[in-house]
Amino acid sequence: MIKEFRLPDLGEGLTESEIVSWHVAVGDTVELNQVIADVETAKAVVELPSPYAGVVAKLHEQPGTVVEVGAPIVSFDIPGGEAETAAPDDDAAPAKREPNLVGYGAAVEKSGRPTRRARRGAAPTLPAKPADAPTVDETAEPAAVQDSFSHTESEPEAPANAGGASAERPRSTPPVRKLARDLGVDLGILQGSGPQGLITRDDVMAAQGGKNEPAGESAPEASNASALSTQRETRIPIKGVRKHTAAAMVTSAFTAPHVTEFLTVDVTESMELLARLKSSRAFADVRINVLTLVAKALCIALDRNPTLNSRWDEAAQEIVQHHYVNLGIAAATPRGLMVPNIKDAQALGLRGLADALKNLTDTARAGKTSPADLSGGTISITNVGVFGIDAGTPILNPGEAAILAMGSVRKMPWEHRDEIALRQVMTLSLSFDHRLVDGEQGSRFLADLGTILSDPGMVLTMV
């Protein structure tokens, strides 16, 4: 029988995801929970396991396609039983969603709201079945999906086709449909140049007259330099991590009143300690660096200044003070800026922190960070020093009270024991939410950090 698998709600409150790649092809035999695809949400690339054991009968979407939650993405031919059919449009009929994998959400009952028209597009032919075998209705959608679109804008229907059959909604993504509405372009008259006839942004712009070349026309082969010289601009879709980061930063900047303080510190003794640790037997197999020292110093300073490790609960009108540190580390990845966090960083020693930082950054750069690692942070560090930058005014991660920016470590003339000496110096930039943290509290926290990094032995007076 044929079982249809629809894009699940991955538990992040998101309405769409992009198919990054398929790990299977039509005709492949798969096992239950075998990874069949990589799916990019607004936060991370997630491995999607198969909910069935059987043969892949049909891939509904191509890599690079943005798919709405609840839309069919793959069909399986599994042995025995009857074909899966969508529930009739009846208020009392429950929506089937089985099996219910972890994080995919539970089935819900229909609300009786209007259903959304099916999407149109050619797809590979299913393997042959006996003539008496029932078939799946692939145009119906479960109640959960109908609910999710019950408040969306209504859109005009496309004109009927030449054969007289009623036309279906043209295949396109939500951003493209919005662009078409804004420009007054009728999607019903367009031929999509994307996979399976998907109408793209370029198709809409070409119809509106905003492009110099017809959609889909390829330029002659040329060098990168000559190609750039013929293009006055490049348009990059805002999606995935970049879209999520932009929304989060705007929310943070216009919700939390930011204050940034700076402290330039002589870190010569910390750098000498770091050199000794790297040459010691205990840390011979550990990737330890200045970020590790700053992370440990931050955890110690937070214990003395707990207001920096809190969040503002607007709904409850409460300040929530955390007794643990989920330390976020900003990581530049090919997919954009990500801030995964080390859970319970306050409980880790220097070696444990070094290992956790290595695993965190390696996983982020490989694009394998899980959504759980990107949520629940309580305070963050961004190391702008690796780019040769001295200082900055970092924007808070939403829900966090503070973020620390580390500048580059530079040798420069500095006052040391009443004389001018060449010392290793670093600037710390601390941004904090002034609703939660007063100037005095932020200053004391930054001063404690500076004390530890300028004279690591002073930790003995703080713990």
Is 213 in the same domain as 276? no
**How many CB atoms neighbour CB 26 within 10 A?**
17
- Distance (Å, whole) CA 10 – CA 183: 33
Question: Is residue 151 pLDDT above 50, yes or no?
Answer: no
Find the angle CA(366)-CA(406)-CA(346) to the nearest 5 degrees. 75
Is 213 in the same domain as 179? yes
Please tell me which residue, 200 or 121, carries the higher pLDDT value. Answer: 200
Domain hosting residue 121, numbered range = 1-152
Q: What is the pLDDT of residues 258-317, one digit of tens each?
A: 999 999 999 999 999 999 999 999 898 899 999 999 999 999 999 999 999 999 998 898
| Marked catalytic residue, from 151, 322, 323, 434 | 434
Please tell me which residue, 44 or 297, carries the higher pLDDT value. Answer: 297
Question: Is residue 94 pLDDT above 60, yes or no?
Answer: no
Please tell me which residue, 236 or 317, carries the higher pLDDT value. Answer: 317
Nearest by Cα to 187 from 386, 196, 195, 174: 174
Confidence of residue 248 (pLDDT cuts 50, 70, 90): confident
16 alpha-carbon distance from chain centroid: 12
Give the length of the chain: 463
Tell me the CATH number at 178: 4.10.320.10
Is 411 in the same domain as 270? yes
Report residue 173 as tokens.
Answer: 């993504």
Determine which helix (DSSP H) or strand (DSSP E) holds 298, and give its type and residue range.
helix 290-304
Tell me the CATH number at 436: 3.30.559.10
Is 418 in the same domain as 433? yes
The mean of the pLDDT values for the chain is 77
Residue 79 · residue 68 · CB < 8 Å: no
Is 20 in the same domain as 134? yes
Residue pointed to by tokens 């029988």: 1
Domain end (from 152, 168, 200): 152
Tell me the CATH number at 19: 2.40.50.100
Residue 71 · residue 24 · CB < 8 Å: no
Question: Is residue 105 pLDDT above 60, yes or no?
Answer: no
Question: Is residue 129 pLDDT above 60, yes or no?
Answer: no
Question: Is residue 218 pLDDT above 90, yes or no?
Answer: no
Nearest by Cα to 381 from 293, 253, 263: 293
Residue pointed to by tokens 């019950």: 150
Is 31 in the same domain as 127? yes
Is 402 in the same domain as 354? yes
Domain end (from 237, 261, 279): 237
Domain end (from 129, 152, 175): 152
Question: Is residue 124 pLDDT above 50, yes or no?
Answer: no
Q: Check if 416 is active-site.
A: no
How many structural domains does the chain have? 3
